[in-house]
A = this chain, B = another copy of it.
Amino acid sequence: MATTNNDFGRLAADVLERVRANSPLVHQITNFVVMNDTANLTLAIGALPVMAHAREEVADMVGAAGALVLNPGTLEPDWVEAMLIAGRRANELGVPIVFDPVGVGATPYRNETGARILRELRLAVIRGNSGEIGALAGAGGEVRGVESVSGVADPARVVRELAAKTGAIVAITGKRDFISDGKRVLGIDNGHEMMKSVTGTGCMSTAMIGAFVATCRNQGGVATTGREARGPEDGCLLAVASALACYGLAGEIAAAKARGPGSFRMELMDALFSLNRDSIEKGARVVEL
């Protein structure tokens, strides 16, 4: 992976172009609050969303998907069960799973569900806020509702260690995003604080990661078949970093035009749709930590 912003921007633009060229299907078992937004984000960046949660069909649906996003933001037992069924099938097929531990740390039920997903599935990516990842990793952090009240002390260390332990790429998003495959740690400095005034902006970034990670399956980053272990190689680390950089950049572009969270949300979709090589190469900001 490149070490200058310019090189990174070029690679990130490549990934986005692959998403648009291949239109991967992103199967999302997600929460009621953000479903519409994450579906619209998925379309805006050129991928295809499908929301399906019935135990009767999730294994079939994930078979057609390029990635599976699991987001238990409004969890209940039937939905958790569906996530596990879909996840097991995804693991069999080599479909990468992106997990968003929404609100883990806030209630015992969310903690147990997060731990169970971690234990029973091989995850390709885990993304959350500092409090959620801290709670998932047993590294501290405080969550109230779905908000990170106080984050982990050393996010770079926490993502690296949780990645090394789980085999997933782990991302803590916030003012700076921290991403690790267990060895390298990247920081992304894109984004805008207006994102905190709109619900689901974290969930949207997870959906974006889903679309981007679907492309690295064919790029040598993630094994495409069988039950063999899938290691988070550079191709997928780059895909995750690219997703977060492009997403944060769209947030910056949107914020420059917005007059509040209502117009920001609208501008964000327009900005995602309009992202291009030029704006990404100029705007993506990555650091190797």
For residue A36, which residue of chain B has the nearest CB? B33
**Contact between B43 and A106 (Cβ–Cβ < 8 Å)?**
no
Asked whether A50 and B273 contact (CB < 8 A) given A40-B261, A64-B145, A197-B44, the answer is no
A288 beta carbon closer than 8 Å to chain B: no
**Contact between A108 and B60 (Cβ–Cβ < 8 Å)?**
yes
Closest Cβ of chain B to A76, distance in Å, is: 4
A164 beta carbon closer than 8 Å to chain B: no
Closest Cβ of chain B to A178, distance in Å, is: 23
A80-117 contact mask (Cβ, 8 Å, vs B): 1 or 0: 00000000000000000000000100111110000000
Q: Give residues 253-289 of A contacting B (CB, 8 Å).
A: 258-263, 265-274
Closest Cβ of chain B to A45, distance in Å, is: 10
For residue A65, which residue of chain B has the nearest CB? B145
A24-63 contact mask (Cβ, 8 Å, vs B): 1 or 0: 0101000111111101101110001111111011001100
**Contact between A273 and B262 (Cβ–Cβ < 8 Å)?**
yes
**Contact between A145 and B110 (Cβ–Cβ < 8 Å)?**
no
Closest Cβ of chain B to A93, distance in Å, is: 15
A14 beta carbon closer than 8 Å to chain B: no
Most buried by B among A40, A145, A262, A267: A262
Closest 5 CB pairs of A and B: A262-B269, A260-B270, A50-B145, A57-B109, A39-B199
Chain A positions within 8 Å of B, measured between CB atoms, are 25, 27, 31-37, 39-40, 42-44, 48-54, 56-57, 60-61, 64-65, 73-78, 103, 106-110, 144-147, 196-200, 258-263, 265-274
